[in-house]
Amino acid sequence: MGTTETERRDDPPVLQAFARFLGLQRGLSPHTLRAYVTDVGQLLDHLRAGAGDADHVAADAEDADHLTVDAEDPDPLARLDLTTLRAWLADQRRRGMSRATLARRTAAVRTFCTWAHRNGHLPQDVGARLRSPRPNRHLPTVLAVDDAAQLLAVAQDRAGDDDPVHLRDWAALELLYATGVRISELVGIDVPDVDAGERTVRVTGKGDKDRVVPFGVPAGRALAAWLERGRPALAGPASARALFLGARGGRVDPRTIRAVVHRLTAVAGVPDLAPHGLRHSAATHLLAGGSDLRTVQEVLGHSSLATTQRYTHVTPERLLAAYTQAHPRA
């Protein structure tokens, strides 16, 4: 097997093997896989350098490539124990690293320690008792229902000139709000994934898991306009089966759709938000409209119901209505 962007020739063998395990058996997204390997690479470098010399391993994994273990110290795992792991994470916390990043790094090293123990690299799973810090729950902006309608009306009006890019933007925003899909899932949709008759779309989420998500009449109308009058004008040799295309005919870049969302929220005069804010708005509005958490979990593609609860709100009005309906002495 050849090397990849995540698994590099200058990585220590144990890190290369761990990267292959993550890629082949865990089904992680490329971004998460790279972050995990980066985190473990920095832990190994910390072990090589010694517990008191970690200045060069405190960089955030999203902004730095993983470091490699010096060939003169081929077995840094010999010094790996629970105390060292806790000290490594505590040092990064003191340096101001966010709780979300610390939580991810904790998960990465726990996964690594379990794998290393099972494959004979560690005599015991030293990370099993490592507790993850709770990340700060900064939820994205949620649009009011009227604001969401205003945003989509602006996108539709803008597409009235039949400009292919404007038709694409309208369809993309309608589908983001109608389905609650992630931006990475949206740009990965192919034309055959859309069932116009059933008004459903198949998306590939985290861990390469497919799910089918319904969408409503407005999104269906926008998609039909895009497929009939917009996409053919942009399609070219690089288009393949991609549903949403960029100006040059290739699959649209997530950054392009992200910029469109920011631009149209400004035009519509509604609170600024990213595509993930439309996902969160969709989930919140589903709950406010009477949907249950399990249904929203399926729509969003969450593996854990706890994740769905973190992404949703229960308004006081909905809480009171549910209490009044359900409690025998309400």
Beta bridge partners of 210: 204
Report the predicted TM-score, pTM, of the whole model to 2 decimal places: 0.63
Instruction: Kindly state whether residue 220 falls inside one of the protein's structural domains.
Output: yes
Instruction: Kindly state whether residue 197 falls inside one of the protein's structural domains.
Output: yes
Tell whether the model's pLDDT for residue 53 goes beyond 70: no
pLDDT grade, residue 289 (50/70/90)?
confident
Contact 260, 173 (CB under 8 A): yes
Tell whether the model's pLDDT for residue 74 goes beyond 60: no
Tell whether the model's pLDDT for residue 228 goes beyond 90: yes
Residue 11 token pair: 């990585």
Is the torsion defined by CA of 266, 243, 249, 159 positive or negative?
negative
The whole-number pLDDT of residue 301 equals 80
Residue 72 token pair: 């003169």
Query: What residues contact 161, with CB distance under 8 A and at least 6 apart?
Result: none
Please indicate whether residue 302 is annotated as part of the active site. Answer: yes
| Backbone φ, ψ for residue 36 (5° rounding) | -60, -45
Which is more confident, 302 or 83?
A: 83
Please indicate whether residue 258 is annotated as part of the active site. Answer: no
- Looking at the structure, tell me whether residues 215 and 307 fall in a common domain: yes
Of residues 46, 110, 231, 279, which has the active-site annotation? 279
pLDDT grade, residue 3 (50/70/90)?
very low
Domain carrying residue 202: 145-324
- Looking at the structure, tell me whether residues 252 and 309 fall in a common domain: yes
Query: What is the tens place of the pLDDT at every residue in 171-223?
Result: 999 999 999 899 999 999 999 999 999 999 999 887 778 899 999 999 999 99
Torsion angle in degrees (nearest 10) through CA of 251, 256, 261, 264 = -110
| Backbone φ, ψ for residue 297 (5° rounding) | -60, -45
Contact 84, 51 (CB under 8 A): yes
Which three-class secondary structure state does DSSP give residue 242?
A: strand
Query: Considering its fold, how many domains does the chain have in total?
Result: 2
- Looking at the structure, tell me whether residues 182 and 296 fall in a common domain: yes
Of residues 34, 158, 166, 302, which has the active-site annotation? 302
- Looking at the structure, tell me whether residues 225 and 105 fall in a common domain: no
Which is more confident, 316 or 281?
A: 281
Q: What share of the chain is helix, strand, coil (3-state, %, to 5)?
A: 60, 5, 40
The whole-number pLDDT of residue 5 equals 46
The whole-number pLDDT of residue 308 equals 67
Which three-class secondary structure state does DSSP give residue 73?
A: coil
Tell whether the model's pLDDT for residue 156 goes beyond 70: yes
pLDDT grade, residue 34 (50/70/90)?
confident
Tell whether the model's pLDDT for residue 240 goes beyond 90: yes
Contact 244, 233 (CB under 8 A): no
Instruction: Kindly state whether residue 269 falls inside one of the protein's structural domains.
Output: yes
Of residues 182, 231, 251, 285, which has the active-site annotation? 182
- Looking at the structure, tell me whether residues 166 and 302 fall in a common domain: yes
Please indicate whether residue 329 is annotated as part of the active site. Answer: no
Of residues 86, 206, 229, 258, which has the active-site annotation? 206
Tell whether the model's pLDDT for residue 88 goes beyond 50: yes
The whole-number pLDDT of residue 310 equals 64
Full strand arrangement of the beta sheet holding 210-214: 194-195, 200-204, 210-214
* Percent of the chain surpassing pLDDT 70: 77
Tell whether the model's pLDDT for residue 9 goes beyond 70: no
The maximal CA–CA distance of the chain, rounded, in angstroms, is 73
Cα distances (Å, whole numbers) of residue 293 to 126, 145, 306: 36, 19, 10
Tell whether the model's pLDDT for residue 11 goes beyond 80: no
pLDDT grade, residue 225 (50/70/90)?
very high
Of residues 48, 168, 276, 280, which has the active-site annotation? 276
The whole-number pLDDT of residue 321 equals 65
- Looking at the structure, tell me whether residues 162 and 290 fall in a common domain: yes
pLDDT grade, residue 56 (50/70/90)?
very low
Please indicate whether residue 209 is annotated as part of the active site. Answer: no
Instruction: Kindly state whether residue 6 falls inside one of the protein's structural domains.
Output: no
Of 83, 118, 153, which one is at a domain's C-terminal end?
118
Least confident of 58-67, 101-110, 199-208, 237-246: 58-67
Alpha-carbon span 121 to 265, nearest angstrom: 52
How many helices (DSSP H) and strands (DSSP E) are in the chain?
A: 14, 3
Alpha-carbon span 131 to 89, nearest angstrom: 11
Which is more confident, 307 or 301?
A: 301
Beta bridge partners of 190: 242
